[in-house]
């Protein structure tokens, strides 16, 4: 017997016009259910891929992959030397000393709380990917570290997040005041009691725009300027930021880098933390939602498969006499199973194909579709005051499409097994005798 005969007969049965109205409706409904499930999952997975990409390149553009800071005392001495030693570790790609300062930025009586990272511009741009997010100006292009005056009579530069700049109403070249608790002398660092309040003028050298909460929280200044107005030693820092070789293995690699530093440099007691301890919940949430989406795919396709089972049982009842004739002509019972497996899977495979054809463009252009809907209906899906970005990102992966289509087709075939086995049990003598 021709090995393709069961498939050909199954396709013939599925395209037959002798279906009951209910059987045809259920068959089409099952295909539509599979298609909707595939489209929804493709769009959801692409959105999760987009959020993961934005987390990697946007949030981690301003948050170091890992940091080392002193367990005792306030500052790390000879920080540049320790950063250079840290860069020799195989787990570390780049390292830079920083001074992280919490304070206020003011302009014309308007105040905004910020976390200022005092950095060496050249070294910091190796640790953080800030260049793509510089909206205006430059990243501390000029700066000899003198916070009082620089060459050409300008104050040391400060780079502000775009929402900070908008709230203060400042532009490139304007002078803002940075207020923070500091020391009036080096000896006063050891003194107890309240510290003196420093007010230091800075020229707005650049504006960063990340597109979320970070725009309202971060600013950068030159580390030499910070050392001068805080009266710190020449190469002091309160942490060393570094980028690990694998950003999503930072929890392990940051410890490897710290051990490497401890083995080769006397650094005292140090604490180590990775971005996973600060923003790791975002990544964990993304992975959890990705798993939920696959579970949703299973449930949606399962519901569609129940329709496939129902439509196939009705089709078998309609074709009992045809099956009996085939069996009486030598058609094997395994061939009957294959025939109805093909017939039942046609609607599922057709639904998966339609879902892929419609879902791929929807996944690729999801950001544009959502933006258009927001403009049309006058709402914002993601509030950047709440989320780390203010838009819906998307990143389509062909592997996701292959996985989703494969799951849908497999479940469609699996749903046909029981009805097809039932069909193989038809007894030709009883059916053809009319009893």
pLDDT digits (tens, 9 = 90+) for 368-395: 998 888 888 887 777 666 666 778 889 9
Residue 146 contacts residue 156 (beta carbons within 8 Å): yes
How many domains does the chain contain in total? 2
From 268, 302, 317, give the residue that closes a domain: 268
Residues β-bridged to residue 99: 118
Instruction: Verify that 245 and 384 share a domain, yes or no.
Output: no
Rank 141-145, 185-189, 284-288 by mean pLDDT and report only the highest. Answer: 284-288
243 and 98 co-located in one domain = yes
Confidence of residue 98 (pLDDT cuts 50, 70, 90): very high
Cβ 13 vs Cβ 321: under 8 Å: no
326 and 233 within one domain:
no
Q: Is residue 299 part of a domain?
A: yes
Residues 134 and 230 in one domain: yes
Residue ranges of E strands in 213-285: 218-222, 239-244, 270-274
d(CA 277, CA 65): 10
Q: Does 67 reside within a domain?
A: no
Tell me which of 118 and 262 has the higher pLDDT: 118
Q: Are 198 and 179 in contact (CB under 8 A)?
A: yes
Total-model pTM: 0.70
Q: What is the pLDDT of residue 149?
A: 44
Average pLDDT over the chain reads 80
Domain final residue pick, 240, 268, 296: 268
- For residues 278-300, average pLDDT: 77
Q: Please tell me the predicted confidence (pLDDT) of residue 22.
A: 64
Whether 112 is covered by a domain: the verdict is: yes
- Please tell me the predicted confidence (pLDDT) of residue 378: 80
Do residues 120 and 226 share a domain?
yes
Q: Closest Cα to residue 55, out of 293, 388, 289?
A: 388
Final residue before a domain boundary, out of 268, 290, 317? 268
For residue 65, being part of any structural domain is answered with no
- Residues 164, 216, single domain; the answer is yes
In DSSP notation, 341-373 reads HHHHHHHHHHHHHHHHHHHHHHHHTHHHHHHHH
Q: Looking at the structure, do residues 169 and 228 belong to the same domain, yes or no?
A: yes
CA-CA distance, 403 to 263, in Å (whole number)?
A: 46
Report the chain's C-alpha Rg in angstroms.
33
DSSP H or E run through 186 = none
Token pair of 208, please? Answer: 């960063």
| More confident call, 27 vs 102 | 102
Q: Is residue 348 one of the residues assigned to a domain?
A: yes
Q: Which of 105-119, 155-169, 280-294 shows the lowest mean pLDDT across its residues?
A: 280-294
Which range has the worst mean pLDDT, 7-21, 88-102, 150-164, 345-359?
7-21
Per-residue pLDDT, 105: 93
**Number of helices and strands in the chain (H, E):** 15, 10
Q: For residues 167 and 104, give the distance between their C-alpha atoms in angstroms, rounded to a whole number.
A: 13
Task: Say yes or no: 40 and 127 in one domain.
Answer: no
DSSP lists the bridge partners of residue 103 as 114
Of 89-93, 131-135, 190-194, 307-311, which gets the smallest average pLDDT?
190-194
Distances in whole angstroms, Cα of residue 141 to Cα of each of 169, 204, 206, 230: 22, 11, 9, 22
Backbone angles phi, psi at 140, to 5 degrees: 50, 50
Q: What is the pLDDT of residue 385?
A: 63
Clarify whether residues 147 and 34 are in a common domain. Answer: no
Would residue 103 count as lying in a domain?
Answer: yes
DSSP per position, 194-219: PPEEEEEEEEEEEEE--SSGGGGTEE
Please give the backbone phi and psi of residue 110, each rounded to the nearest 5 degrees, phi first. -105, 135
For residues 186 and 328, state if they share a domain.
no
Local structure of 88: helix, strand or coil: coil
**For the chain, how many residues are written?**
435
Judge if 259 and 291 occupy the same domain.
no
Note down the domain range covering 401.
5-57+282-433
Contact 198, 116 (CB under 8 A): no
- Quote the pLDDT of residue 177: 92
Which residue in the block uniquely carries the two structure tokens 């050909």? Answer: 8
Q: Residue 60's closest CA among 248, 237, 206?
A: 248
Angle at 279 between CA 275 and CA 283, to 5 degrees: 100
Domain-located, residue 64: no
Q: How far apart are CA 145 and CA 223, in angstroms?
A: 7
Do the beta carbons of residue 4 and residue 12 sit within 8 Å?
no
Distant-in-sequence, close-in-space partners of 333: CB < 8 Å, separation ≥ 6? 327, 424, 425
Alpha carbon 276 to its chain centroid, in Å, reads 14
Does residue 254 or residue 159 have the better pLDDT?
159
Cα 428 to Cα 6, 108, 112: the distances in Å are 18, 95, 86
Q: Is the pLDDT of residue 312 over 80?
A: no
Is 94 found in the same domain as 181? yes
pLDDT digit string, tens, across residues 221-271: 999 988 888 888 888 898 899 888 877 777 788 888 888 888 777 656 778
Q: Give a yes or no: residue 62 inside a domain.
A: no
Which is higher by pLDDT, 199 or 282? Answer: 199
CA distance 316 to 312: 6
């Amino acid at each position: 017997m021709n090995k393709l005969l069961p498939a050909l007969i199954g396709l013939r049965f599925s395209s037959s016009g002798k279906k009951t109205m209910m059987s045809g409706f259920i068959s089409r409904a099952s295909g539509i259910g599979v298609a909707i499930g595939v489209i929804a999952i493709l769009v959801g997975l692409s959105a999760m891929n987009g959020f993961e990409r934005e987390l990697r390149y946007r949030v981690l553009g301003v948050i170091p992959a890992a940091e080392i800071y002193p367990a005792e005392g306030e500052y790390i001495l000879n920080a540049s030397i320790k950063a250079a030693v840290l860069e020799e570790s195989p787990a570390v790609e780049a390292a830079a000393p920083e001074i992280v300062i919490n304070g206020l930025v003011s302009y014309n009586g308007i105040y905004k709380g910020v976390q200022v990272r005092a950095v060496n511009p050249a070294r910091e741009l190796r640790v953080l990917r800030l260049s793509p997010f510089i909206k205006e100006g430059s990243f501390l292009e000029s700066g000899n570290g003198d916070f009082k005056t620089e060459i050409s009579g300008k104050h040391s530069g400060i780079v502000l997040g775009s929402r900070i700049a908008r709230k203060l109403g400042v532009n490139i070249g304007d002078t803002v005041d940075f207020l923070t608790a500091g020391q009036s002398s080096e000896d006063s660092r050891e003194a107890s009691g309240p510290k003196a309040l420093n007010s230091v003028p800075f020229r707005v050298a650049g504006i960063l725009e990340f597109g979320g909460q970070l725009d309202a929280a971060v600013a950068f200044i030159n580390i030499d300027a910070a050392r001068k107005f805080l009266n710190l030693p020449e190469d002091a820092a309160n942490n060393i930021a570094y980028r690990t070789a694998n950003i999503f293995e930072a929890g392990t690699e940051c410890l490897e880098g710290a051990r490497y530093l401890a083995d080769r440099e006397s650094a005292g007691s140090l604490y180590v933390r990775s971005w996973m301890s600060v923003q790791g919940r975002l990544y964990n949430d993304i992975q959890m939602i990705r798993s939920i989406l696959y579970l949703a795919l299973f449930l949606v396709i399962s519901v569609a498969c129940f329709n496939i089972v129902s439509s196939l049982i009705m089709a078998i009842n309609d074709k009992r006499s045809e099956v009996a004739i085939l069996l009486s002509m030598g058609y094997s019972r395994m061939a009957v199973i294959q025939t109805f497996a093909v017939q039942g899977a046609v609607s599922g495979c057709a639904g998966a194909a339609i879902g892929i054809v419609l879902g791929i463009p929807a996944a690729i252009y999801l950001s544009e579709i959502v933006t258009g809907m927001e403009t049309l209906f006058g709402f914002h899906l993601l509030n950047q005051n709440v989320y780390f970005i203010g838009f819906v990102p998307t990143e389509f992966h062909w592997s996701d499409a292959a996985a989703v289509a494969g799951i849908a087709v497999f479940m469609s075939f699996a749903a046909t097994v029981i009805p097809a086995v039932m069909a193989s049990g038809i007894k030709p003598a009883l059916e053809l005798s009319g009893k």
